[in-house]
Structure 1
Amino acid sequence: MTTPIESIAGLVIGAVESVSPDEIRILLELDAPQATALNTGTPAAFPRLNGYVLIPNEAGATVAYISWIGIERSPYPKRSGLKDFGLIDLPFPLRKMCVSPVGTLTSRRDRASKQTVYELSRGVAAFPSVGDQVLMPTPEQVEAIVGAKESDRRVRIGTSALASSAEIKVDPDKLFGRHLAVLGNTGSGKSCTVAGLLRWSLDAGAKAMSDAGRKGHPNARFIVLDPNGEYAKAFADRKDQLRLFRVPPVVGSERELDVPAWLWSGHEWTAVAYAQPGAQRPLLLRGIRELKSGHHEDVPREATIKRHLLVSSGRITAMLNMGSTAFAGAVGPRFDCARLLGGIGEDSAHFAASVDDPAMTLLQTLSATITEIVDSRRSGPTYFNDFLVSDLESARDAIAVVTDALPDIVGAAAAISEDAPVPFDVSLLAEHLDHLAAEQGGNFAAFISTLGLRIRSMLADQRLGSVIGKAPPTSFEEWLKSYIGDDGARNGPLAVVDLSLVPSEVVHVVVAVLARVIFESLQRYRRLHAEGLSLPTVLVLEEAHTFIRRGKDDDGPASSPNQLCREIFERIAREGRKFGLGLVLSSQRPSELSPTVLAQCNTFILHRIVNDSDQNLVARLVPDNVGGLLRDLPSLPSKQAILLGWATPIPVLVEIDELAKEHQPQSADPDFWDVWTGANKREVDWHQIAGHWTAPIEGDAQSMEPPTASTEGAVPMDNSSSPDLDDEIPF
C-alpha cells in the first residue's frame, strides 16, 4: 500500500530555480514525464502550455499555469548517491519551464464523506522558495483548479481540454451579476456561446426547480437586443418560453415591436431630433410636456381657440416681416392677404357660436373688426386694393385683445414631466411645435422649422410608424409585462427583440429607450420593496461596438443618438448590479467599445482575437496575471475560449459545449462554393421581396401620416385651408 508521502513523492517533477512575483522558473527532473504522465492515477498529457502545476508550501499549494517550456544547456546535474561527481562538466540539455502563479489550493477533510476536498482561492498566499519541489496535480486537484466551488457549480458551459476534460461550471450570480463580455472575431463562436449561456442557464434552473418539486418556468428574465436577427432561430424550439418582437409585418406567435414615442424621455427626444440647445430644445421639451399633459376632453374650448388664434397672429407677423410686397403691389399678394384675414374673421365667428360670454362677445367683436378691414380694401368680388401695414397691425392687435382674455393651456391641465411615460399622439408633435413657434412671433418660427421637418421625416418612414406610434397604444403596464416579463415569468423567461429592420436613423434611440426603461423599472421595483429586494434581469446586447462606441463626445449631455445610447449603457454598467440588472456584451471589436463599460465587466469569455489593438486592449483590461494565456488568442480554434474574471477562480481555457445546429444563432458563414456549383439551390423571387419591402403597414398608413409641412409665414390659398378648430391638436 502506498503511503501519502510516497504518493506525493511520485508526483514530483522538478524544483523551483528562481522566483519573481509574476514568474517562477522550474528545472524539471531528468525522469520527469516526457509526453504522458502516468503517475497521477490516470494518464495525463505533460508538459503542455496552459497546463497546471502545484508548488506546496505552508499555506497549502501555489497553483501556477505553464507559460513557457524549453531546453537550456546546463552542467550535468550531480545526483546524490550516484556516480555523477566524477563526470566532466560538459553542457547538458535540461528541460525547464516558466510558470505564472495564479492561486492557492487548500484541502480539508469532509466529515460526512470522509473524503479530501480541495478548494481554490484567488491570489498567492505564500510564494515558494528556491529549491521547493514542484508537483503534478492529481485529477481531483485539477478538477478543483479549473472548476468552481461546489456551491458555485450550477451551470455547465464546457470542458477543459488541458485539465483531463474536467467540467467547467459557473455560478449565474457571478457570471451575470457583475457583467459579462464575450469578445472575439467573426466566426469564432461568440453568438453560439451567448445562446448557449442563456439556454444552459434556463435548463439548469428548470432542473433545479424539478429537483425541488417546483413546477413552471424558471423565474428568469433574459432580454436580448438582437440587431442582426440571429437569435429567433436559436430558441425556435422554446415557443412557450420565448417572446419574439419584430418590426411588422409579423407572423404566427411573433409580436410587433412597440417602442412608443410617448415612452421616450425628453433627453431622448432631444437627441433623436438633434434639437439645438438655444431655442429648439426648450421648445421641444415644452411641446412634449403640453401634449402629455393635455387631453382633449380635459381642456376648455376657450384654451384651444386661443392656441388657434395665436397661430393666426403668427402668420400675420410673418407677412409683415416679409415687407409690403407680401400684401400690396401685385394682385396675387393682395388676394392672399385678403384670404388670410377673411379666414380669421370667419373662424372667429364660428368659434363665437361654440362658447359662452364673455368669450363669445370678444370673438364676435374680433370677427367684425377683421371683416371691416377686409371690406374696406375690397374693389370687387375677387379684387382688392393694396393693404396697409396699419391694416395688418390692427388685425394683430385685435387678436391680441382676445387671446389675452382667454385661458392658457398651462392652467387647463395638470403639469407633467416630459420624461413621464404618458401616451400622446406623436403625429401631432410637429404641428404643435409650429403652433408654439408662431406664438413666439418674429423669426422664431423660421428658426424652429428645421426641428419640425426632422420629426416629420422620421414619422414618414412606414417601418417606423407602428414601432413608435402603435394605434391604439399599449398601456404602460402591459408594455412592462411584455418586454421585461410578467409576475413569475408566466409569459416566458426569454425576450428577443429583433432590431434588424429598424431604420438606422432611430435604432440607437430604440435600443437606448429599451435599456433605460428596463433599468428604471428595476430601480423602482427595489424602491417599492422595503426589504430592498431586486428583480434579477439580464440584458444581452449583440454587436455592442455598434451601440456603445467610444467617442470624443464623452463629456456633456448627449447630443446625438449614438452618444445617448452609450450614455445609458455606461450608467447600467456602473449601477446596474445594485438593482439586479446584469449586462452581457458581445462584440468583435473590443477596441471600439466604451472604456467605461468594458472596465465594469468583471468576467470575460475571450474567443479568437487577431487584431493587435483588440489584443492590447484586452490585455490591459483583465485583472488577472494571464499574460501568457492571452498570447493564445490569435490561435484559438472555433468553440474554444479563455474564461477569466469573477466567475472563475483562475483563468482557464474552455472548450465551449457544442449547440445542436438547429439551436445555433443564424450567423453561419455563407456557402459560396456550394451555391456557385449548384450543390445548394437558391431560388430568388425579387417580386416577393420588393412587395414585402414597399407594402404599407396595415392599419397604420393613415393613422401615422404626419401633418403636411407648411412654410412658416405662408398664406393659405383659400378659407378652407385655414386651420379649423375641429382639426386643432388637443391641448
Structure 2
Amino acid sequence: MTPIERLSSLVVGAVESVSPGEVRVLLELDAPHATALNTGTPAPFPRINSYVLIPNEAGATVAYISWIGIERSPYPKRSGLKDFGLIDLPFPLRKMSVSPVGTLTRVRDKVTGGMRHELSRGVMAFPSVGDQVLMPTAEQVEAIVGARDSDRRVRIGASPLASNAAIMVDPDKLFGRHLAVLGNTGSGKSCTVAGLIRWSLDAASRAIADGGRGDTPANARFIVLDPNGEYARAFADLGDKVRVFRVPPIAAGERALEVPAWLWSGHEWTAVAQAQPGAQRPLLMQGLRELKSGQTQGVPREAVVRRYLVSYATRVSAMLNSGTQAFAGSPRSRFECARLLETIQNDCNWLAQGVEEPTTSELTAAAARAETVVNSRRSGAYFNDFSVGDLESVRDALLTLAETLPDLGDAAPISEDAPLFFDVNLLAEHLERTASEQGANVAGFVSTLGLRIRGMLADHRLGAVVGHQPPVRFEDWLSDYVGDSGGANGPMAIVDLSLVPSEMVHIMVAVLARLVFESLQRYRRVNAEGKALPTVLVLEEAHTFVRRGGDDAGPAATPGQLCRETFERIAREGRKFGLGLVLSSQRPSELSPTVLAQCNTFLLHRIVNDADQNLVGRLVPDNVAGLLRELPSLPSRQAVLLGWATPIPVLVEVDELPDAQRPQSSDPDFWGVWTLREPRAVDWAAIVADWTSS
C-alpha cells in the first residue's frame, strides 16, 4: 500500500463546523460502525472519549470524541449520485462532536536519529470546514496517551480507549508539584496510592541496576501518614526497607510511635492546651522558654518585676503618643488615665513585698509618685486634666528602675519553638508556680491550663508517644521518620495513626508534617550547593485533616485549624524545598481550596456526589469537561489522569496489585461470613485485654 493509499484508508469523515471548544464531524458512509480494521489492528470505533486526528500545517490536531449521533436527511448525501429528486426516503447520517485537546507532531529522536510522534499541549491550528478526519494508528495512539521519551519512567497502567497503550509518568512531574488522588470509597484510591509508591521504587531500582550501580538501595523518601492503619500490610514484603511506627503495644518489626512534646512549637502547644489569648497563652510561652533554657525553678522575682515595670511604662507612653484626648479630653478619658496610675501604684506596692533593698524602696517611691499625680488631679469623684509632665515623670521613674533589674530575656533566651528537650511532666507545675508569683488573679486563669496538660500526659495511649523516657535524640528521630543518608534505612516510613485518640490525631499529623517540612528547609540551607532533598509526604483521608476553613474560627487556634494551616504552607512552599504532597480523599469538596489549588496533577476515580463532581469539573478546561462525565460510572481501578504529569487528560486503567500488596481497605465479605465460607472466630477477652492495656 502506498503512503497515499495508507492515509486515505484512515479517513473516517470530514469537518462540518468548527468552534474553539467543539468540532462537528460528518462521518463517511463507509466509516467503521463498531470495529475498525484499517489501522492494522482491530480497534473499537467510534467510541466516546477515544481519539481522532485532523491534519493541518502544524502536524495534526488531536481531539477526543464527546458525542456520537444520527441525523436524518431527506436525500442521500453520497458523492456521485444524481437522483436526489427521485428518492424520497430518510437517509441516516452519522455525526460526532470532537473536542480539540492537543497537537501531534513528528520530531527527530535525539538518540536513534529516527522520526517519532510527540504530543504537545494546546491547539496550534484549528481545522477548517471540509478538512478530513482520520483514525490514529497504534503508534500515534501510544504517542497521544503515553509520555514523552524523557518522561517514560514509571508505568502506572494502560488506556482502555487507546488499544491498552501503556500510561507512563515522570515522578518529577507527578510528585514535584503535588498530586491529589480523589474518588469515592471503594473506587481504588488506596491501591492507586500504594501502587504509585511501589512502581516508583521498582522503576528507581531498575534504573540503578541499568546504570551499573548494582543493588544499591534507592535514595527515595516516602512518608505515609496513615489514619486507618491500612498501608503496613501493603509493604510488608519489603521487610526492613519499610519503617512502621505505631502506638504501643507493637508487634515484631514495628517501632513505637514517638512525637515528643518537647518537639512541639509554641503554636502547637497553644492549640493542644487550648490556651486563651489573655493570660494563658503568654504564660505558656514563657514557661516553654524557661524550661527549654533550663529554668526549672521559676523566673527570678526581679525579672518578673522588670517585666511589669516595662509593660506599664509602655502603656503610659502609648497614652502620651495617642494625643491629648487620651488624658486631657472627656471625663471618661481622664478617668481611664487615673485608673492606670492607680493600678501602677497598687502593683508597685505589691511587687515591693517580694524583693530586697534597694529595689523595695525604689518601688515604693514609684508607687508614691503615681499616687501623688492622681491625688493632685482628683476633684471629688472626677479628675481634672493630667499634664504631659505628670505622665512623663511616672514613665521615667518606671523605666529608670527597670534598667537596674535583670532582663527577663536573660533568664530565658531560648525560643518556645526551639526543638530542645525538657521534661514535659514539669510543665504544668512550672506554669502554676510562675502564675502564683504574679498574683492570685493570674493563678486562677492558669489553673485550667495546668489541668488540660496533666490530663493529656495522664492518657496511657499518649504517655509513651509524647513524653517518652529516656528522650530520643532529635537527629535519630529525623533519621527514623524522614530517612537516613542515602536511604540506608529504607525508602519508606509508615506512621500508623489508627490508635491515636481522635482529639490528638490532628496535633500529631500537624507536628509530623511541620517537622518534615522544616527539616527539608534547613537541609537546603545547610547544604553547600543549596540543593533540595526530594521527599514525598502522603496524607490519607486528607479531608479529615485539611478541611475547608470557616467552622473553627475562635480566639485560640484549634487542632484542626493548625493542621490545615500546616498543610496549606506545605502546599504553597514545599516544592521549593523538595517536599511533594500526595493527598488521598473521598470528599474533595471538603478539602481546603488553598491546598487543592496547589495540586498540579489529579487522579480522579469514581465520584458520585454532585458537590464533588462540580468541584473537580472546574479543574479541567471546558473543551475536555466531557471526559469527567464518566466519573459517576467508572469501575474500580479506572481513573482520569489530568494535569502537569500528562499532556492531555486521559482515562487510565491502573495496574492491578497482587492481593498481598494491597492496602487493608477491601470491602467486607458479608455473604462469605454469613454462609460460613469465611470463618470469623471472636475472642472478646483478648480484645478487651489489648484495649485496656493501651
For the criterion TM > 0.5, the same-fold answer is yes
Q: CA separation of 1:87/1:526 partners in 2, compared to 1, >3 Å: closer, same or farther?
A: farther
Q: CA separation of 1:267/1:45 partners in 2, compared to 1, >3 Å: closer, same or farther?
A: same
Please report the TM-score for the alignment, with normalisation by the length of structure 2. 0.84
Match of 1:230 in 2: 230
Q: CA separation of 1:277/1:201 partners in 2, compared to 1, >3 Å: closer, same or farther?
A: same
Match of 1:97 in 2: 96
The answer as to whether partners of 2:290 and 2:412 remain within 8 angstroms in 1 is: no
Match of 1:213 in 2: 212
1:275, distance to aligned residue in structure 2 (A): 1.0
Match of 1:144 in 2: 143
Distance 2:568 2:358 in 1: 47
The answer as to whether partners of 2:75 and 2:84 remain within 8 angstroms in 1 is: no
1:72, distance to aligned residue in structure 2 (A): 1.0
Distance 2:299 2:281 in 1: 24
1:83, distance to aligned residue in structure 2 (A): 4.4
Q: Note if 1:587 corresponds to 2:585.
A: yes
Alignment of 1:642-681 (within 5 A): 642-681=640-679
SS in structure 1 opposite 2:575?
helix
Q: Note if 1:434 corresponds to 2:418.
A: no
1:99, distance to aligned residue in structure 2 (A): 0.9
Distance 2:6 2:583 in 1: 46
Match of 2:66 in 1: 67
Alignment of 1:519-534 (within 5 A): 519-534=517-532
Count of residues in Structure 1 that have an aligned counterpart in Structure 2: 608
1:402, distance to aligned residue in structure 2 (A): 9.1
Q: Give unpaired runs (5+ residues) of structure 2.
A: 306-348, 361-403
Distance 1:230 1:69 in 2: 43
The answer as to whether partners of 1:624 and 1:645 remain within 8 angstroms in 2 is: no
Match of 1:339 in 2: none
Distance 2:670 2:678 in 1: 9
SS in structure 2 opposite 1:524?
helix
1:81, distance to aligned residue in structure 2 (A): 3.3
Alignment of 1:125-140 (within 5 A): 125-140=124-139
SS in structure 1 opposite 2:199?
helix
The answer as to whether partners of 1:306 and 1:403 remain within 8 angstroms in 2 is: no
Distance 1:543 1:83 in 2: 67
Match of 1:612 in 2: 610
The answer as to whether partners of 2:263 and 2:421 remain within 8 angstroms in 1 is: yes
Distance 2:257 2:621 in 1: 39
Alignment of 1:544-559 (within 5 A): 544-552=542-550, 559=557
User: Which of 509, 512, 521 is the equivalent residue of 1:514?
Assistant: 512
Distance 1:87 1:115 in 2: 55
The percent identity for this pair of structures is: 74
Alignment of 1:126-275 (within 5 A): 126-214=125-213, 215-275=215-275
Distance 2:352 2:359 in 1: 10
Q: CA separation of 1:264/1:654 partners in 2, compared to 1, >3 Å: closer, same or farther?
A: same
The answer as to whether partners of 1:54 and 1:136 remain within 8 angstroms in 2 is: yes
Distance 2:449 2:542 in 1: 30
Distance 1:557 1:176 in 2: 36
Distance 1:293 1:77 in 2: 92
Match of 1:468 in 2: 466
Residue deviations 1:182-241 (CA, integer Å, cap 9, x gap): 000010000000000000000000000000011321100000000000000000000131
Residue deviations 1:59-78 (CA, integer Å, cap 9, x gap): 11110111111111124344
1:80, distance to aligned residue in structure 2 (A): 3.4
Match of 1:701 in 2: none
Distance 1:73 1:83 in 2: 19
Distance 1:114 1:75 in 2: 54
- What residue identity is the alignment partner of 1:57? N
Distance 1:156 1:148 in 2: 10
The answer as to whether partners of 2:273 and 2:449 remain within 8 angstroms in 1 is: yes
Match of 2:284 in 1: 284
1:116, distance to aligned residue in structure 2 (A): 3.2
Distance 1:235 1:395 in 2: 65
1:109, distance to aligned residue in structure 2 (A): 4.3
Match of 1:711 in 2: none
- What residue identity is the alignment partner of 1:238? L
Please report the TM-score for the alignment, with normalisation by the length of structure 1. 0.79
The answer as to whether partners of 1:218 and 1:489 remain within 8 angstroms in 2 is: yes
Q: Note if 1:505 corresponds to 2:499.
A: no
Residue deviations 1:276-305 (CA, integer Å, cap 9, x gap): 111111111111111101166xx8xxx789
- What residue identity is the alignment partner of 1:134? V
User: Which of 628, 631, 634 is the equivalent residue of 1:633?
Assistant: 631
Q: CA separation of 1:436/1:28 partners in 2, compared to 1, >3 Å: closer, same or farther?
A: same
Distance 1:414 1:446 in 2: 24
1:84, distance to aligned residue in structure 2 (A): 4.8
SS in structure 1 opposite 2:618?
helix
Distance 1:538 1:432 in 2: 39
Q: CA separation of 1:447/1:13 partners in 2, compared to 1, >3 Å: closer, same or farther?
A: same
- What residue identity is the alignment partner of 1:599? A
1:410, distance to aligned residue in structure 2 (A): 4.4
Alignment of 1:479-498 (within 5 A): 479-498=477-496
Match of 2:30 in 1: 31
Match of 2:373 in 1: none
SS in structure 1 opposite 2:481?
helix
Q: CA separation of 1:396/1:642 partners in 2, compared to 1, >3 Å: closer, same or farther?
A: closer
Q: Give unpaired runs (5+ residues) of structure 1.
A: 311-393, 697-731
Q: CA separation of 1:531/1:453 partners in 2, compared to 1, >3 Å: closer, same or farther?
A: same
The answer as to whether partners of 2:276 and 2:556 remain within 8 angstroms in 1 is: no
Distance 2:416 2:653 in 1: 50
Distance 2:623 2:526 in 1: 42
Q: CA separation of 1:152/1:232 partners in 2, compared to 1, >3 Å: closer, same or farther?
A: same
Q: CA separation of 1:421/1:155 partners in 2, compared to 1, >3 Å: closer, same or farther?
A: same
SS in structure 1 opposite 2:681?
coil
Alignment of 1:285-304 (within 5 A): 285-294=285-294
- What residue identity is the alignment partner of 2:452? R
Distance 1:79 1:624 in 2: 34
1:626, distance to aligned residue in structure 2 (A): 2.1
Match of 1:683 in 2: 681
Distance 1:89 1:281 in 2: 88
SS in structure 1 opposite 2:239?
coil
1:531, distance to aligned residue in structure 2 (A): 2.8
Residue deviations 1:20-47 (CA, integer Å, cap 9, x gap): 1111111100000011101001111111
Alignment of 1:81-120 (within 5 A): 81-85=80-84, 87-88=86-87, 90-110=89-109, 113=112, 115-120=114-119
SS in structure 2 opposite 1:538?
strand
Match of 1:5 in 2: 4
1:625, distance to aligned residue in structure 2 (A): 3.5
SS in structure 1 opposite 2:667?
coil
Residue deviations 1:531-574 (CA, integer Å, cap 9, x gap): 32110000000000000010216889971000000001011111
Q: CA separation of 1:630/1:263 partners in 2, compared to 1, >3 Å: closer, same or farther?
A: same
1:111, distance to aligned residue in structure 2 (A): 7.7
The answer as to whether partners of 2:301 and 2:355 remain within 8 angstroms in 1 is: no
Residue deviations 1:132-191 (CA, integer Å, cap 9, x gap): 100000000000000010110100000011100100010000000010000000100000
- What residue identity is the alignment partner of 2:42? P
- What residue identity is the alignment partner of 1:559? A
Q: CA separation of 1:404/1:691 partners in 2, compared to 1, >3 Å: closer, same or farther?
A: farther
Distance 1:437 1:155 in 2: 59
Q: Which sits farther off after the overlay, 676-685 or 205-214? A: 676-685
Match of 1:723 in 2: none
The answer as to whether partners of 1:553 and 1:563 remain within 8 angstroms in 2 is: no
The answer as to whether partners of 1:306 and 1:407 remain within 8 angstroms in 2 is: no
Residue deviations 1:632-656 (CA, integer Å, cap 9, x gap): 0000001111111110111111110
1:685, distance to aligned residue in structure 2 (A): 1.5
1:444, distance to aligned residue in structure 2 (A): 1.3
1:413, distance to aligned residue in structure 2 (A): 5.2
1:672, distance to aligned residue in structure 2 (A): 1.6
After superposition, the CA RMSD in angstroms is 2.6
The answer as to whether partners of 2:274 and 2:556 remain within 8 angstroms in 1 is: no
The answer as to whether partners of 1:558 and 1:564 remain within 8 angstroms in 2 is: no
